[in-house]
Homo-oligomer: A and B are copies of this chain.
């Protein structure tokens, strides 16, 4: 095991797969010569050359369209969309083309491709560069969705995404890029669709994703030590496929569900999970389902405002103390 940053785990995952399979190619804006604006792909150009690692014009529709056309004719492209907010400029290619073509052609066309993108807040970039849009993607049938919280998951799930025969949208959380963690050496491949129980408790099950996993863990610590409230923390990791078995099982154990979402409130992934739980383990619930999210506003840029908009450890502690007894 080596210690890697979340950022370096991205390059490690891509390199592992490009080494394994000549048909894996990588394209995006400023990704090759410059190694990406988040420096997550440094070294790939040197290692794999300009035929396989390509800089693109500012043409997101062309980038994802090209990835789609390449995937249906034998390549396995990894395409970068620099900030997840920019998925909006190529949303047609994601939601209407990539996600639907296999179904519309009754299975004639299959798309083994990965779209990587930097998601989320915390950099004081303002409303157009800070969104968490995993819920946009979750609403679209036909695309798998992964959002890792740890460097090891970045490498393992990215490799799994590349090997998956279906299109995968891979959300890298900007605020985690410099986080360090142990990452297995050598070939490492994880599995899509498996949530992880990171901490087992008795009173409440907190379900979180990406950066919010760390806040949930921090809150669970404080709740246990300072307030005697014992929480389970589940890292969802993959929204599609969704590991409802793990989530339902853990909610049944504690009788309570709290979701912690970085996205603004309405139609977040937590709403979907809440609706599943309120249907399928209603009789096991001991109290209301609580969703902790960013308020339903675009994100402000000033540090003070941004920090207070995104769910913080303190807010998770406070809300759980108020609502779970």
- Chain A residues with CB under 8 Å of chain B are 85-86, 88-89, 91-92, 94-96, 99-100, 103-104, 126-128, 135-136, 138-139, 141-142, 240, 263-272, 274-275, 277-280, 282-283, 285, 287-291, 296-298, 300
Contact = CB atoms under 8 A, between A and B. Distances in A.
Nearest to A85: B96
Given A91-B91, A267-B271, A288-B279, A139 B136 contact: yes
- As for how many copies of this chain the complex holds, the number is 2
A92 B58 CA distance: 15
6 contacts: A89-B91, A100-B128, A104-B298, A141-B266, A271-B274, A271-B275
Nearest to A99: B298
Contacts of A267: 135, 138-139, 267-269, 271-272
Nearest to A285: B282
Contacts of A142: 297-298
Most buried by B among A88, A128, A138: A88
Nearest to A264: B141
B297 A288 contact: no
A166 to B, nearest CB: 13
A274 B282 CA distance: 12
Contact of A264 (B85, B86, B127, B139): B139
A289 B278 contact: yes
A141 B298 contact: yes
A129 B301 CA distance: 37
Nearest to A60: B92
Most buried by B among A265, A271, A297: A271
Contacts of A135: 139, 267
Contacts of A86: 92
Nearest to A257: B278
B138 A266 contact: yes
B141 A139 contact: no
A103 B297 contact: yes
Contacts of A290: 279
Contacts of A263: 139
A272 B139 CA distance: 12
A104 B127 CA distance: 7
Given A88-B91, A100-B128, A289-B275, A297 B141 contact: yes
A103 B99 CA distance: 32
Contacts of A266: 138-139, 141, 240, 272
A319 to B, nearest CB: 11
A2 B298 CA distance: 42
Contacts of A277: 278
Contacts of A104: 126-128, 298
A58 B280 CA distance: 46
Given A139-B139, A265-B272, A275-B289, 14 more contacts: A88-B91, A91-B91, A91-B92, A104-B298, A136-B136, A138-B267, A139-B264, A142-B298, A266-B272, A267-B271, A271-B275, A275-B278, A275-B291, A279-B291
